[in-house]
C-alpha cells in the first residue's frame, strides 16, 4: 500500500492542463455528450435569439390568433410552431424565452455560487464564531421555504425587472454551496499535507489558497450546473404564477400560464414551453453528471470494478523478467507460453501454489501512463514464505494488490498471468475472485486501525468475516474468533471481542487483523508491510506470531517490506524489486550472504545489522527511483549504480543465473562477461 499511492498522486496533471483534460474526459461519457450538446444548442439559441428568431416575439397579429403549428393541416411554415392568443409567433417567443430563462438562471447561479464558496471557505477554514454565525444564518434561511420567500419578496416589488428576479433567486442559493464547501474544507484542513505546510511556517492565507482551495473548488462547478436546472424551474414557476418577468419579456413559465387558458383548442401552447423546460433541465443534469465524474472519478460508476483480462495471454519476449525487451523485441519469438516464462522464474516447482508470470500493471492517467509493474515473474511454494523487498515506489505493493485483484482505479493488470492453484486470477470472474478472497487468499495491510471499521466491535467484525465464508452459526463463529485471537497471543480474547478498534493499540489491532485473516485458514496470506507502523518490540512479537501461525497452518506467505533485515529473518526466499521489475531473487540466506545485484548490495549496506563492526558507517543509496511514467531504456538502476557500464544505459538486462535458483538482472552477470571472468 505504501508505494502505490504516492506515485499516482505525484502524477496528477498540472492545473494549467486541467481544462483540456476535462473536455476530453467529458467527451468520453455518452450521457454527458448528449447533455452538453443539448445545452450548447439551447444556449446558442438563447445567445443569438435576436438573429435566429423568425419574428419579433412581442409583435401581435390579432388577425392570426391561435394559428396551429406546421404539422397541423391548417398550419404554415410562416409560423412553424403556431401563434398564441394575441397572434404572437410561438417559436420566436420560445427562443427569446430561452434567452431570458437561461440568462436569469445563470446570473443567479453565479451570485449564489460565489457567495456560497466564499462563506464555505471562511466558515470551514477559520471555524469558531465565524463558522457558528454562518451556519446559524444558513439554518434560519433554510427554515423558510425558498419558493414562499421568493413569492413574498417579488409580490411586494412593483415594476419587477430581471435584476430583481436574479437577486431573489440567486442570494438564497449561497447556503447550498456554503455547506458543501465548508464540509470539504473542514476535512481538507486536517490533512497531513496542510498540517505539514503549517509546521513549515506557511501563513494561513497560503495554507488556504495553496493547499486547501485546490482540493475543494472542484465541487462547485457540479453543484452550479445542477443549480442552473433548479433555477430554470424556479424562474418558470414564478413566471407561471405571474411573479416573474413583466409581460414584455417572453418567458417559458408565462407561456405555460397563457397556454393553459387555451388548453382545449391549442394544446401545443402549453406543451411546447413545458418541453423546452424539460429538455433544458435534462441537458443540464446530464452535463452535471458528466462533470461530477470528471472532477471526482471515484464517484464514477464501476470505478472500483477490477478489469478482467478477457484475451488469452499474448506473446511476449522470451524471459520472465526480460528487462532488455526494448532492444531485443524485434528478435523475440512470436508466442510465449507460461512454461517459457517459468524458465526464468525463481523456484519453479510443480508444487507451486502461486505462479506469477510476466505481470504488468499500469495506471493510465491524463497525459501519461504509470507503469508500476513491468513483467514480474515469481513462484511461491505451498507453505513457503516469500519476502518482497524494495524501496517505496518499487512496485511491491502494487504486485500484492494485483494478486488480491484489489487495485484501485485507474490501476489495472494489462498483461501476464497470476496462476493461483491453476486458476488465472486476472481472467476469472468477479464472483469467482470474491469466493477466493478471505477464504483462500487473505491480506493484511500496513495500517490495522484503518483496516477495521470504527463503528463495529472487534467481535462483530470477526464474526462477520468468519461467517461470510463458513455458513456458521453465530456461536460457532464466536468460538473461532475467540480461538483465533488466542492464537495470535491475545491473552483476554473475550474482552477484546467486546471492544472497538479505537480502544486498542496499533499492535493489538494488527493482531486482530492477523487473527481475522487466519481464521479462515487461507492457503495464501499476503502481508503488506504489516508492522511498518508499529514499534520495534511489537513488530518482533507480531512477526514471530505470524511466522508460527503460517507454519502451523501450512499457509504460504508473501511478506512485503522495505526492510531487507526483516526479510532475512522471516522469509525462505526473497524477491528484490526495483522500478517495477525484479532485480534479484533466490533463497534468502544466499541472497543476503552473497548479494549479486548492486541494488541488493546497496540495500544491505544501508540497514543496520548486528554483525557490522563498530565504526562502520551505513551507506545511503544515492539518487532516487526513476519516474514510473518515463523509465529510461536500459537498466533502471543505471543512474544510481556504481558499476554502470555503457551497455547498461541502452539494454535492460535479463535475469541471469548466478547460482542454483539464484538470479540477478544485471549485465555484470551476463554469460558473456562471466565466461570472460569479469564479475
For residue 225, state whether it binds ligand SF4 (rule: CB under 6 A): no
**Shortest Å distance, C-beta 670 to ligand SF4:** 9
Give the footprint of ligand SF4 on residues 509-568 (CB under 6 A): none
Closer by beta carbon to ligand SF4, 96 or else 597: 597
Q: Is-contact 113 224, C-beta < 8 A?
A: yes
**Shortest Å distance, C-beta 586 to ligand SF4:** 16
**Shortest Å distance, C-beta 421 to ligand SF4:** 35
Q: Is-contact 165 101, C-beta < 8 A?
A: no
Bridge-partner residues for 412, per DSSP? 362
Longest dimension (CA), the chain: 110
Closer by beta carbon to ligand SF4, 172 or else 598: 598
Only one of the segments 194-202, 220-228, 618-626, 645-653 lies at the binding site for ligand SF4 (rule: CB under 6 A); that segment is: 645-653
3-state secondary structure of 557: strand
Helices (H) and strands (E) in the chain, counts: 29, 12
Residue from 361, 641, 655, 663 in contact with ligand SF4 (CB under 6 A):
641
3-state secondary structure of 292: helix
For residue 577, state whether it binds ligand SF4 (rule: CB under 6 A): no
Residue from 163, 643, 672, 678 in contact with ligand SF4 (CB under 6 A):
643
**Shortest Å distance, C-beta 321 to ligand SF4:** 13
Bridge-partner residues for 525, per DSSP? 442, 557
Only one of the segments 256-264, 344-352, 490-498, 642-650 lies at the binding site for ligand SF4 (rule: CB under 6 A); that segment is: 642-650
Residue from 361, 441, 648, 658 in contact with ligand SF4 (CB under 6 A):
648
Alpha-carbon distance of 242 to 237, in angstroms, equals 9
For residue 637, state whether it binds ligand SF4 (rule: CB under 6 A): yes
Give the footprint of ligand SF4 on residues 579-598 (CB under 6 A): 597-598
Alpha-carbon distance of 278 to 283, in angstroms, equals 9
Closer by beta carbon to ligand SF4, 569 or else 633: 633
Residue from 2, 638, 655, 663 in contact with ligand SF4 (CB under 6 A):
638
Closest residue by Cα to residue 308 from 396, 420, 424, 395: 424
Residue from 43, 137, 213, 645 in contact with ligand SF4 (CB under 6 A):
645
Here's the x/- map for ligand SF4, 650-679, by CB under 6 A: it reads as: ---x------------xxx-----------
Closest residue by Cα to residue 285 from 233, 216, 217, 214: 233
Closer by beta carbon to ligand SF4, 415 or else 598: 598
Q: Is-contact 669 596, C-beta < 8 A?
A: yes
C-alpha cell at 638: 543505471
For residue 602, state whether it binds ligand SF4 (rule: CB under 6 A): no
Paired sense of beta strands 368-381 and 581-587, if any: unpaired
Give the footprint of ligand SF4 on residues 470-499 (CB under 6 A): none
CA 393 to chain centre: 18
Alpha-carbon distance of 586 to 348, in angstroms, equals 11
Alpha-carbon distance of 153 to 147, in angstroms, equals 10
Q: Is-contact 405 306, C-beta < 8 A?
A: yes
Only one of the segments 151-159, 242-250, 387-395, 635-643 lies at the binding site for ligand SF4 (rule: CB under 6 A); that segment is: 635-643
Closer by beta carbon to ligand SF4, 533 or else 635: 635
Find all residues with CB under 8 Å of 619, minimum gap 6, and list them: 602, 605, 606
Report which secondary-structure segment, H or E, holds 354.
strand 352-365
H/E/C letters for each residue in 252-279?
HHHHHHHHHHCCCCCCHHHHHHHHHHHH
**Shortest Å distance, C-beta 351 to ligand SF4:** 32
Tell me which residues touch ligand SF4 (CB under 6 A): 597-598, 635, 637-638, 641, 643-645, 648, 653, 666-668
Amino acid at each position: 500500500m505504501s508505494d502505490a499511492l504516492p506515485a499516482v498522486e505525484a502524477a496528477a496533471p498540472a492545473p494549467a492542463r486541467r481544462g483540456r483534460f476535462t473536455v476530453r474526459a467529458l467527451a468520453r461519457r455518452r450521457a454527458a455528450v448528449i447533455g452538453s450538446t443539448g445545452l450548447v444548442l439551447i444556449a446558442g439559441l438563447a445567445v443569438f435569439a435576436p438573429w435566429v428568431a423568425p419574428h419579433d416575439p412581442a409583435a401581435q397579429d390579432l388577425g392570426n390568433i391561435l394559428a396551429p403549428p406546421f404539422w397541423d393541416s391548417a398550419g404554415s411554415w410562416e409560423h412553424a410552431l403556431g401563434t398564441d392568443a394575441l397572434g404572437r409567433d410561438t417559436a420566436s417567443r420560445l427562443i427569446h424565452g430561452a434567452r431570458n430563462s437561461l440568462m436569469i438562471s445563470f446570473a443567479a447561479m453565479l451570485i449564489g455560487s460565489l457567495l456560497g464558496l466564499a462563506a464555505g471557505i471562511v466558515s470551514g477554514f477559520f471555524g469558531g464564531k465565524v463558522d457558528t454565525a454562518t451556519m446559524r444564518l444558513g439554518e434560519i434561511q433554510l427554515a423558510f421555504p425558498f419558493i414562499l420567500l421568493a413569492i413574498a419578496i417579488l409580490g411586494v416589488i412593483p415594476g419587477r425587472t430581471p435584476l430583481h428576479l436574479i437577486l431573489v433567486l440567486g442570494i438564497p442559493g449561497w447556503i447550498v454551496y456554503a455547506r458543501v464547501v465548508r464540509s470539504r474544507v473542514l476535512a481538507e484542513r486536517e490533512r497531513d499535507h496542510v498540517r505539514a505546510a503549517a509546521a513549515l511556517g506557511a501563513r494561513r492565507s497560503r495554507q488556504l489558497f495553496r493547499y486547501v482551495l485546490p482540493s475543494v473548488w472542484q465541487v462547485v462547478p457540479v453543484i452550479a450546473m445542477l443549480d442552473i436546472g433548479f433555477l430554470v424551474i424556479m424562474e418558470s414557476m414564478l413566471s407561471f404564477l405571474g411573479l416573474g418577468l413583466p409581460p414584455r419579456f417572453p418567458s417559458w413559465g408565462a407561456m405555460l400560464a397563457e397556454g393553459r387558458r387555451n388548453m382545449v383548442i391549442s394544446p401545443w401552447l402549453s406543451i411546447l414551453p413545458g418541453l423546452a423546460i424539460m429538455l433544458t433541465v435534462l441537458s443540464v443534469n446530464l452535463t452535471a453528471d458528466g462533470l461530477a465524474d470528471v472532477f471526482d472519478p471515484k464517484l464514477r460508476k464501476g470505478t472500483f470494478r477490477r478489469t478482467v483480462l478477457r484475451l488469452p495471454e499474448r506473446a511476449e519476449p522470451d524471459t520472465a523478467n526480460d528487462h532488455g525487451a526494448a532492444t531485443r523485441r524485434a528478435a523475440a519469438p512470436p508466442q510465449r507460453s507460461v512454461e517459457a516464462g517459468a524458465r526464468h522464474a525463481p523456484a519453479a516447482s510443480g508444487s507451486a501454489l502461486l505462479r506469477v508470470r510476466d505481470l504488468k500493471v499500469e495506471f493510465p492517467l491524463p497525459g501519461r501512463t504509470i507503469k508500476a509493474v513491468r513483467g514480474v515473474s515469481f513462484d511461491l511454494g505451498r507453505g513457503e514464505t516469500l519476502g518482497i523487498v524494495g524501496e517505496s515506489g518499487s512496485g511491491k505493493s502494487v504486485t500484492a494488490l494485483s494478486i488480491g485483484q484489489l487495485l484501485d482505479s485507474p490501476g489495472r493488470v494489462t498483461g501476464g498471468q497470476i496462476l493461483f492453484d491453476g486458476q488465472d486470477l486476472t481472467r476469472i470472474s468477479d464472483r469467482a475472485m470474491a469466493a477466493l478472497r478471505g477464504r483462500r487468499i487473505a491480506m493484511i495491510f500496513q495500517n490495522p486501525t484503518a483496516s477495521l471499521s470504527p463503528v463495529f466491535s472487534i467481535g462483530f467484525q470477526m464474526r462477520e468475516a468468519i461467517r461470510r465464508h463458513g455458513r456458521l452459526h453465530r456461536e460457532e463463529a464466536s468460538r473461532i474468533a475467540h480461538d483465533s485471537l488466542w492464537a495470535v497471543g491475545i491473552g483476554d480474547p473475550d474482552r477484546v471481542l467486546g471492544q472497538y478498534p479505537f480502544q486498542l493499540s496499533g499492535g493489538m489491532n494488527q493482531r486482530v487483523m492477523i487473527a481475522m485473516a487466519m481464521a479462515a485458514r487461507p492457503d495464501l496470506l499476503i502481508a503488506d508491510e504489516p508492522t511498518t507502523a508499529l514499534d520495534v518490540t511489537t513488530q518482533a512479537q507480531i512477526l514471530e506470531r505470524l511466522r508460527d501461525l503460517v507454519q502451523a497452518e501450512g499457509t504460504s506467505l508473501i511478506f512485503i517490506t522495505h526492510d531487507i533485515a526483516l526479510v532475512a529473518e522471516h522469509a525462505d526466499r526473497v524477491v528484490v524489486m526495483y522500478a517495477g521489475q525484479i532485480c534479484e531473487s533466490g533463497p534468502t540466506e544466499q541472497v543476503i550472504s552473497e548479494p549479486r545485484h548492486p541494488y541488493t548490495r546497496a540495500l544491505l549496506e544501508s540497514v543496520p545489522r548486528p554483525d557490522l563492526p563498530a565504526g562502520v558507517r551505513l551507506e545511503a543509496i544515492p539518487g532516487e527511483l526513476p519516474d514510473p511514467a518515463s523509465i529510461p531504456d536500459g537498466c533502471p538502476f543505471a543512474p544510481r549504480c556504481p558499476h554502470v557500464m555503457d551497455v547498461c544505459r541502452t539494454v535492460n538486462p535479463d535475469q541471469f543465473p548466478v547460482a542454483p535458483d539464484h538470479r540477478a538482472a544485471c549485465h555484470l552477470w551476463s554469460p558473456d562477461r562471466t565466461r570472460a571472468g569479469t564479475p
